Amino acid sequence: MIKTKLKIIEENLDLVKENLPNNVNEFKALGLVKDGIYKKIEALIQEVISICSIINSDLKLGISSNYFPAFFSIEL
């Protein structure tokens, strides 16, 4: 399950890299492409949160009421 999520992250990151302009002004002028980049970044963040939640659950660190503990209850 985590491998699938990592693949989704990698694919979305590649799409963002391919479509990211060289400077901020070009980015601001992108219109709908800019919105697509935002959505891909949002999807990346959701997958990272999901992976952290899976690890949190697998390590039996408890059920969190929000995302904050999913990130900070995992000790590396």
In the chain, what are the domain boundaries? Answer: 2-72
For range 63-71, the mean pLDDT: 58
CA distance 37 to 64: 29
Mean pLDDT across the chain: 84
Q: What residues contact residue 44 under an 8 Å CB cut-off, 6+ apart?
A: 9, 12, 13, 16
Segment 30-64, tens digit of pLDDT: 989 999 999 999 999 999 989 988 888 888 776 65
Q: Is 36 exposed, middle or buried (0-12, 13-18, 19+ CB in 10 A)?
A: middle
What pLDDT, on a 0 to 100 scale, did the predictor assign at position 59?
A: 81
